[in-house]
Amino acid sequence: MARARATFDDADALIEGKRWNGALNRLYYAAFYAARALLATQSLDSSRHSGVISLFQQHFVRTGRVPQETARALPRLFEKRQTTDYGDYAEATRRSRSAESSSRGVPQSVRGFASSP
């Protein structure tokens, strides 16, 4: 979970500098690392990003351990990161930042779950 929090802090610094593509990348990875940390508590993992997302949905969202509204951020961020990291001439904007700010709930919600008994 520490890696997720540190990556989230990196995203905040990039947002302050108005570096939207980098911030979007870091927001996705913060959520991804948080999901992997949760999966590790169940001895689960995947070598593919899509596999992590699928396992996270199956074991934590469908079971109600992580709210659906919070969990939606992970696949949305995945798609947006794919577009901005690999798409020709794709640029995230401040407008996309407002949509991604909801992803702040992912690491925080996951942190709360991970610290519960």
Q: What is the mean pLDDT of residues 3-13?
A: 89
Higher pLDDT, 39 or 108: 39
The domains of the chain, with CATH numbers, are: 2-115 (1.20.120.330)
How far apart (Å, rounded) are the C-alpha atoms in residues 97 and 105? Answer: 14
Is residue 83 a contact partner of residue 57, using CB atoms and an 8 Å limit? Answer: no
Of residues 22 and 107, which shows the higher confidence score?
Answer: 22
The overall average pLDDT reported for the chain is 79
DSSP 13-67: HHHHTT-HHHHHHHHHHHHHHHHHHHHHTTT---SSHHHHHHHHIIIIITTTSS-
- pTM of the entire predicted model: 0.76
Over residues 29-43, the mean pLDDT reads 93
What is the arithmetic mean of pLDDT over 41-57? 95
Confidence (pLDDT) at 98: 41
Q: What is the pLDDT of residue 16?
A: 87
